[in-house]
Chains A and B, each alone.
Chain A
Amino acid sequence: MTTRIFVPRDAAARAVGADRVAAAIAAEAKQLGLAIDVVRTGSRGLFWLEPMIEVETLGGRIAFGPMTAKDVPGLFAGGLPVSAAHPLCVGRPEDIPFLKRQTRITFARCGIVDPLSLADYRAHGGYRGLERARSLGAAGTVEEVTKSGLRGRGGAGFPTGIKWKTVADTTAAMGADRKYIVCNADEGDSGTYADRMIMEGDPFVLIEGMTIAGFAVGATKGYLYIRSEYPDAIRVMERAIVLAEAEGLLGAEAKFDIEVRVGAGAYVCGEETSLLESLEGKRGQVRAKPPLPAHKGLFGRPTVINNLISLATVPAILADGAKHYADLGMGRSRGTMPIQLAGNVKHGGLFEAAFGLTLGEIVDDIGGGTASGRPARAVQVGGPLGAYFPRGLFDTPFDYEAFTARDGLIGHGGVVVFDDSVDMAKQARFALEFCAIESCGKCTPCRIGSVRGTETMDKIIAGDRAEANLALITDLCQTLKFGSLCALGGFTPYPVMSAIKHFPEDFTRPRLAAAAE
């Protein structure tokens, strides 16, 4: 019998040597005459163990990691089945606490299936969601998504069902001669990689989700806008679309098409109206709202523009029912969130769980503290526009409203951990500099304010009238927050002001060394 060995093809696993491990396994098996089949999967999301390979046994899969090509001969020294006594053996993946504690709905298949096998996708529950959507009808599908409580996973948290209903309700008389589904896969937030993992590890779930959205609102064309920094994801998605077309799951028969469009390195294109401009072939400058994209979106037509994770969650919601999803979570944050642990953290990886875990549980318990072993001092949640949280706020539950109440945001679910060597004045400066680099230039507070803010922060770091300059920054942040058209200018104050508020000592201490840099 041929033994299947699963090696991730996820970009992060490849970045730490998964291709070399896969090649070594194939070479070793050939030399020893072992009957094996190497299957390239997505990642399970346990990145500190990557490259993590899984060997099929009669008792299920057994995982080994982190592997290097050098570890491969030792693995097969005793022939097949491989020995669980190997020092890199981490046992059954499902039993690893990091995975065992999760509630995987959106990521149910990621890391398990061959991403480019429709047969695998179907065998693991794929296309049950679309089937149920068709049985419910378009209006019933919108209703089901609304009842699930799903909110936009890009960060804004707008109820997905309500957005869909707005588009579904548009008529030809309102200029809706055609409608569009746009998937926002311009995942630019540092500390996030959930979209990338789905595209590389379970692309058909996104295709199914977009197809359901098209069916629900009456759109026949979908655009998937992927950032250019994700070449692997682009390749996998393009291939998956071709495979789906070949089986009639996309195209004329399915009454729905998907086209991949590639971004060009502009962070602001993750903002929905910038993304639409970019898709239209223009500079990625934000549009003022109203009109909402749901009324006048892509090429002036009604458009559902959703984050990738929102769309990739829809098939499971339809397949298992809205109630199953809505029963999870807390308050108005229903269902699960793929939390992405990143940066200076011991157990970095994707942790999908119901809303409600505290930040402390996420960082200390699940993440295991810092990778450096030093105390965790600050945690930035929600990407470069998210607030820095000190240990004192580790009791904050992971929930849209709870983070808002503490002047933060959960954004797309990125959690970046910093140890006590972090200089928060530098982090605040970076937030302003990043805003200056990525500003689309449409509105003045963001275009000019970010540059002036960076200069002012330089003065503070140099010890030049710190108090007066901090007052200036505070005032500037007010202007940015209330005077910007989109979240780039509007949310840059979160990291800046949270750093000043929670770590004031970093802004007033003399720093001769820093000034000399």
Chain B
Amino acid sequence: MPKAAAWDEAEANSIIRRHYGREGAMLPILHDLQAVFGCVPPAAVRLVADALNLTRAEVHGVVSFYHDFREQPAGQHVLKLCRAEACQSMDGERLARAFLDRLGVDWGDTTPDGRLTVEATYCLGLCACAPSAMLDGEPIARLTSSSFDDILREAGR
């Protein structure tokens, strides 16, 4: 994953300006901000509010509503593990629990070295090859306990 850029107000404003005049521009703006800064920095909320003629509370309300938007950057790598029913039926919960225990973290946490964030997700649409996951946007399925060794290697741990 590309490293999150440090906060830069001019950069943020140029991202926001790209969406000028677009219908319902809020989500596209937030996605683009997060793609660059690794999160929607609290400082960006005021800029988005000004650009869209909304209150900061309204923008914060949107940022906090959606599971995808972060207020802090994630670790260098993000693993989304599916916890939905199809993956449950293939023992996904037990594998996930064992992996979290091995790392000594819980859902949503980042390892102390900052390398890996493990998040719960509810369905990746890979349900016929359960259990499944996504590492930095790349799908992985038919997970076994050895798949997690590969994941850790990819994450450089």
On chain B, the residues within 8 Å of A190 by CB distance are 82, 84-87, 122-123, 127
Known contacts A192-B127, A264-B31, A266-B65; is-contact A384 B142 (Cβ 8 Å):
no
Stretch among A226-234, A240-248, A395-403 lining the B interface? A226-234
On chain A, the residues within 8 Å of B71 by CB distance are none
Residue of A230, A349, A416 ringed by the most chain B CB atoms within 10 A: A416
Q: Is A196 an interface residue (CB 8 A)?
A: yes
Q: Is B15 an interface residue (CB 8 A)?
A: no
Known contacts A229-B123, A232-B139, A264-B27; is-contact A343 B90 (Cβ 8 Å):
yes
On chain A, the residues within 8 Å of B86 by CB distance are 190-191, 342-343, 414, 416
Q: Do the beta carbons of A188 and B65 come within 8 Å of each other?
A: no
Q: Which of A339-357 contact B (CB under 8 A)?
A: 340-345, 348-350
Q: Is A27 an interface residue (CB 8 A)?
A: no
Out of A281, A340, A422, A437, name the residue touching B127 (CB < 8 Å): A340
Q: Which of B71-123 contact A (CB under 8 A)?
A: 80, 82, 84-90, 121-123
Q: Do the beta carbons of A283 and B65 come within 8 Å of each other?
A: yes
CA distance A107 to B23 in the complex (A): 33
Q: Which of B33-56 contact A (CB under 8 A)?
A: 52
Q: Is B128 an interface residue (CB 8 A)?
A: yes
On chain A, the residues within 8 Å of B132 by CB distance are 15
On chain A, the residues within 8 Å of B138 by CB distance are 14
Q: How many chain A residues touch B (Cβ–Cβ < 8 Å)?
A: 62
Give A102-135 as 1s and 0s: 1 = Cβ < 8 Å from B's Cβ atoms: 0000000000000000000000000000000000
CA distance A392 to B122 in the complex (A): 29
On chain A, the residues within 8 Å of B89 by CB distance are 343-344, 416-419, 422
On chain A, the residues within 8 Å of B141 by CB distance are 12, 15-16
Q: Is B26 an interface residue (CB 8 A)?
A: yes
Q: How far is the CB of A2 from chain B (nearest CB, A)?
A: 30
Residue of B27, B127, B139, B141 ringed by the most chain A CB atoms within 10 A: B127
CA distance A261 to B138 in the complex (A): 20
On chain B, the residues within 8 Å of A48 by CB distance are 128
CA distance A15 to B137 in the complex (A): 11
Q: Which residue of A lies closest to B48 (CB)?
A: A281
On chain B, the residues within 8 Å of A231 by CB distance are 137
Out of B52, B85, B125, name the residue touching A187 (CB < 8 Å): B125
Q: Do the beta carbons of B66 and A284 come within 8 Å of each other?
A: yes
Q: Is A494 an interface residue (CB 8 A)?
A: no
On chain B, the residues within 8 Å of A384 by CB distance are 84-85, 122
Q: Do the beta carbons of A229 and B90 come within 8 Å of each other?
A: no
Q: Which residue of A lies closest to B82 (CB)?
A: A190
Q: Do the beta carbons of B122 and A438 come within 8 Å of each other?
A: yes
Q: Do the beta carbons of A189 and B139 come within 8 Å of each other?
A: no
Q: Is A434 an interface residue (CB 8 A)?
A: yes
Q: Do the beta carbons of B68 and A264 come within 8 Å of each other?
A: yes
Name 7 interchain pairs, CB-CB below 8 A, sorted by A. A14-B138, A191-B86, A267-B122, A280-B23, A283-B61, A284-B66, A416-B85
When A and B form their complex, which 5 residue pairs have the shortest distance between CB atoms, in order from nearest? Answer: A281-B26, A348-B128, A190-B84, A342-B127, A264-B66
**Extra inter-chain contacts (10) besides given A261-B24, A299-B23, A418-B89, CB under 8 Å:** A11-B139, A14-B138, A15-B126, A190-B87, A191-B123, A229-B125, A283-B65, A343-B88, A343-B130, A384-B122
